[in-house]
Amino acid sequence: MRVLLVEDDETLAAGIARALRAENFAVDIAGNGEDGGHLGSTELYDAAVLDLGLPLRDGLSVLRDWRAAGRDLPVLILTARDGWSEKVAGFKAGADDYLVKPFRVEEVIMRLRALVRRAAGHAGALVACGPLVFDAQLGTFELDGLPVKLTAFEWRVLSALMLRREVVVERADLIERVYEGDADVDSNSIEVIIGRLRRKIGATLIETVRGRGYRLTAGA
């Protein structure tokens, strides 16, 4: 999962990003509304964390522009503005959730997981594909009831496939969801990660769709 964090407080942004990366998220950080608006309009993200009081452009105008352009990524607003009118304005602009500062970063993580899960069409926390079960709220995988230990890259690929199980996920889509914007990506990196995953969860669950990408399927 890849998240856009738009926050001008560098210390706060670094702390949130560090916590998200520890939970296997890829994170891109923008320190002002113009950069954040551009990234959210041009890059693929599973969710965005958006402050309202930003330099150059206010967070509400950024969010309105995303929605006007058809960008439907889930957006969690983080702000010190705790008045009811501010919350109403945020939801009217297209926010999916709203969290007032100060907050616990653990709550940010849980809310983001819930937003990403629901955006993918899963009402419940548990997502299953054959013997593989993903707890999308805790971020854990089990195979035949036993925990699966994954690297951050493996987790991002497998979670992307799991939330879209039985659907072909394009290779380019996986690359965008796995790597941060400034990453130096090898041409065969996704294939290497898929190979490692097949060794951990079995070769039959991940199907290669030639010329397109990969599909997680219980019927392979």
Give the Cα separation of 84 and 106 in Å (integer). Answer: 24
Domains of the chain in start order, with CATH, are 2-119 (3.40.50.2300), 126-216 (1.10.10.10)
pLDDT at residue 101 in the model: 86
Give the Cα separation of 185 and 190 in Å (integer). Answer: 9
Q: What is the mean pLDDT of each run of 10 residues along the chain (220 residues)?
A: 96 96 97 97 96 94 97 93 82 94 93 96 94 96 97 96 96 91 79 96 94 88
pLDDT at residue 200 in the model: 97
Task: Indicate the burial class of 68 (C-beta count within 10 angstroms; 0-12, 13-18, 19 or more).
Answer: exposed
pLDDT at residue 140 in the model: 97
pLDDT at residue 31 in the model: 97
Among residues 125, 129, 124, 117, the alpha carbon closest in space to that of 201 is found at 129
- How would DSSP label each residue in the chain? -EEEEE-S-HHHHHHHHHHHHHTT-EEEEESSHHHHHHHHHHS--SEEEEESS-SSS-HHHHHHHHHHTT----EEEEES--SHHHHHHHHHHT-SEEEESS--HHHHHHHHHHHHHHHTT--SSEEEETTEEEETTTTEEEETTEE----HHHHHHHHHHHHTTTSPEEHHHHHHHHS-TT----TTHHHHHHHHHHHHH-TTSEEEETTTEEEE-TT-
